Amino acid sequence: DAKTTQPPSMDCAEGRAANLPCNHSTISGNEYVYWYRQIHSQGPQYIIHGLKNNETNEMASLIITEDRKSSTLILPHATLRDTAVYYCIAGFPGANNLFFGTGTRLTVIP
């Protein structure tokens, strides 16, 4: 699976959009980009994933660059409850193991 690189931490003002970047320059053609988050010490929560096209669901939007070497997770209106560690993962859909790494700690500031 491709390795991903994320900034260790970010701050975002409450109500503003949070844009979390992820680099995955070695991603292969069949690997998806997955995003999870972990609030405090709770179990990780799946957010969204995509292959080539941008994706949107009720939680977030995922923007993948045309060359697929990087992506951005967008939380359109961050709330205090979005404070968490966000993990960007590149992996094959049939893989049995997702490498979570250390993620980005997002702090939403009132």
Partner 1 sequence: EAQVTQNPRYLITVTGKKLTVTCSQNMNHEYMSWYRQDPGLGLRQIYYSMNVEVTDKGDVPEGYKVSRKEKRNFPLILESPSPNQTSLYFCASSSLTEVRSYNEQFFGPGTRLTVL
- Site residues for partner 1 per CB under 8 A: 32, 34, 36, 41-46, 49, 89, 91, 93-103
- Block residue for tokens 């053609």: 29
Pick the closer one to partner 1 by CB: 58 or 96.
96
Q: Smallest gap, in angstroms, from Cβ of residue 33 to partner 1?
A: 10
Q: How far is the CB of 69 from partner 1 (least distance, A)?
A: 20
Whole-angstrom CA distances from 47 to 2, 38, 110 are 19, 10, 23
d(CA 57, CA 26): 26
Residue number with CB closer to partner 1 (49 or 74): 49
Give the pair of three-digit tokens for residue 66: 């045309």
Rounded-to-integer distance, Cα 4 and Cα 71, Å: 10
Cβ closer to partner 1: 14 or 61? 61
CB of 95 to partner 1, least distance (A): 7
